[in-house]
Structure 1
Amino acid sequence: MLAETICSAAAVAGLGIAGITAYRKRYLAAARIAAYSLVPLGLVMIGAVDWIAGTAFSPVAWVGFGVLGGAWLLFSSTRAVERRRGGRKETTGGAEPRAVAPAASSPSRAAAPKPQAGQSTGQPAGEDFSDIEAILKKHGI
């Protein structure tokens, strides 16, 4: 009963503000304010306020909100773990993960041997462009 009274009072106050706005010849704003102020009155008339008030004071409804929150927490945590793994799917039975493009060549992951202190690689830094040339030739550039 109290919720209906508050919503009705808010609607009347909003219509009053819309009337003052229309008096100031701002009809578009007055129509918008009137539309917003009629929403709580419409909710009272269809009985949605009773339903919302009944839900707010129902322990079963709050447990339901808790279950929904737990489901959201599980969903978001699994998404975070999935992002952390880089989108890899968990493989079972020791199977290798599938390549995205199996025909494409991949760069070698083996590290080149590092020269000892005092040894030179024989090539000045920045002079070895053979890898870049091979890539450009492969793409026809």
Structure 2
Amino acid sequence: MLVETVCSAVSAAGLGIAAITAYRKRFLAATRLAAYSLVPVGLVMTGAVGWISDIAFRPVVWAGFGVLALAWLLFMTTRAVERRTTGTRKERRAAKAAQRDAVAPAASAPAPGAGRSTAPPAVAPAPAAGAKQPKKAADEDFSDIEAILKKHGI
């Protein structure tokens, strides 16, 4: 009964302020004030005020809100830790799929000397002191890179 009286008084005061605002030719603000002023009466008429007051004065309800807040806090903490320690969900799924589809490395890749004889390469005799030494494999790799760079004008 007290809640209904207070809500009616608040609505009446708000409508009075809206009327004064409309008298001052501020119709948009007056309309907005009238809308806000009618909310408490509407809540009383729908019975929502009684429901809210029942919730507000029950300790069990507040304990329930506390438990929900704790659950939300734990959930968000685990999400934050998960994001900090690993990549995105997409990256984790890709890693799991790669682990699941992985095959033994020896079975999936050809041997380094496949198609060649397994005997060690013959060692060439040492060249004479004045002769040029043959290029090494690494030098050949760099010569290919140099050729590509020259081709592009770099």
Q: TM-score, normalised by structure 2?
A: 0.55
SS in 1 for 2:87: coil
User: Which protein has greater RCO, CA pairs closer than 8 Å, 6+ apart?
Assistant: 1
Counterpart of 1:9, as a letter, is A
- State the 1:3 CA deviation: 2.5
For 2:61 and 2:97, how far apart are their aligned partners in 1? Answer: 46
SS in 1 for 2:25: coil
* Stretches of 4+ aligned residues off by more than 4 angstroms: 96-99
List per-residue Cα deviations over 1:47-96 (Å, max 9, x = no partner): 1110000011112211211121111111111111112113367x9xxxx6
The aligned counterpart of 2:50 is: 50
Uncovered stretches (5+) of structure 2, i.e. residues with no partner: 99-144
Counterpart of 1:38, as a letter, is L
Q: Indicate the percent of aligned positions where both proteins have the same amino acid.
A: 65
For 1:47 and 1:26, how far apart are their aligned partners in 2? Answer: 33
RMSD over aligned CA atoms reads 2.7
Q: How many residues align?
A: 98
Instruction: From the two aligned structures, give the one with the greater helix fraction.
Output: 2
Uncovered stretches (5+) of structure 1, i.e. residues with no partner: 100-129
Q: TM-score, normalised by structure 1?
A: 0.60
For 2:15 and 2:66, how far apart are their aligned partners in 1? Answer: 38
Larger radius of gyration: 2
